[in-house]
Structure 1
């Protein structure tokens, strides 16, 4: 993509070094959870899969072990380094790409599955829609997009209650501290779940399922319609 002076700069908010990135590698069952997700998504040998915002690379490594061709995509060099270590430890081949939702390189209609977890909220709403359109273009007709992100389910009249609840949930379940929650609320771009749903549908996706299963967390399974199919 040609550089333009008005295009959103994802790299200005990388903010991750190796010490910070290491918090994403604390869960001993992460490989089991990744494999369960990939099994649920019907991954088959020979599929081409991208994980955008791949973090430490557990999911892409599990996909590679299942016989998929995988692209590990992340804006953070520290995260890509962790992904490469994971691949080496598991003796699998992955491709890495230093890019984000707005800049990852792709051939149109080339992916059987794209996954993105907790990356979309780094973008303002206009650029979220741009990212969704790029993902839609990259997927094969009939292929799926699996999205997890931090979203608001309720209206702002419950903001104080919701944020404190989310902080406690994150501390208890994900080893994050309260400062990380504060930073997210102040400096990042989560939006309402219904806005995310509308954006996804306007991009052309069919919403297969949605689950608002934890404080301020949303999970979406989307499908790109086949040619000639009504969305």
Structure 2
């Protein structure tokens, strides 16, 4: 898409240097969790896969180990540097791309799988929908999109309770302090699960499964419909 003066600037909220990026490199079981997700998604040798918001590159590298051709995409140079280190350590080849959901380069109908974890919430809702449309266009017919993000599961009258539960969960399970949760609430763009679900189906995806397994965490498995009788 050509740049326009009204187009959302993904880089304006970058703010990630090596010190911040290292936060995402401290979970010892991240490779096991990535491998389990990729196995569940049925990744095969020769698949073309994009990890948008790849972070430290663990999932991208695990996909490459399974024989996939991987594009590791992130808006942060610090994150891509970590991804390159992961790839060297694991002796696999990945292609890194300094871009985001609104700017990643792709050919239509070219990916067998796209994964995006905890990245979509960086965009306001209008731009979330634009990003989802781009992902739909990039996937091959019948291919899957695996999305995990921070979402509000309940209705608006439950937000205060949900945020407190999420803060407690994050502190106990992810070593994040309360301040990081409060900063997210003030400055980022998480929205309701029922809003995300409507965006996904309106973008053209079939909603295969939804899992709201932890406070303010949503996991979605989507499929781009196979071409059929409609044009």
TM-score normalised by structure 2 residue count: 0.98
The aligned residue for residue 225 of structure 1 is 225
Instruction: Tell me if the contact between 2:148 and 2:219 (Cα under 8 Å) persists in the aligned partners.
Output: yes
Question: How many Å separate the matches in 1 of 2:194 and 2:226?
Answer: 25
Q: Does 1:147 align with 2:130?
A: no
Report how far residue 171 of structure 1 moved.
1.1
Task: Name the counterpart of 2:39.
Answer: 39
Cα distance 1:111–1:173, how it changes in 2: closer, same or farther (>3 A)? same
1:85 is matched with 85
Contact 2:49–2:112 at 8 Å: present in 1 too? yes
Counterpart residue number, 1:4: 4
Aligned residues: 230
Residue 156 of structure 1: how far off its partner (Å): 2.3
Matched with 1:126 is 126
Q: Deviations over 1:21-63 (max 9, x none)?
A: 1011111111111111101000000000000000000000000
Q: How does the TM-score come out when normalised to structure 1?
A: 0.98
- 1:111-143: CA deviations, max 9, x gaps? 000000000001011100000000000000000
Q: 1:176 to 1:229 in 2, by over 3 A?
A: farther
Unmatched 5+ stretches in structure 2: none
Q: Distance in 2 between matches of 1:21 and 1:198?
A: 32
- Tell me, yes or no, if the aligned pair for 2:152 and 2:159 is still in contact at 8 Å: no
Large movers: runs of 4+ above 2 Å: none
> Structure 1 stretches of 5 or more lacking a match?
none
What does 1:148-227 align with in structure 2 at a 5 Å threshold? 148-227=148-227
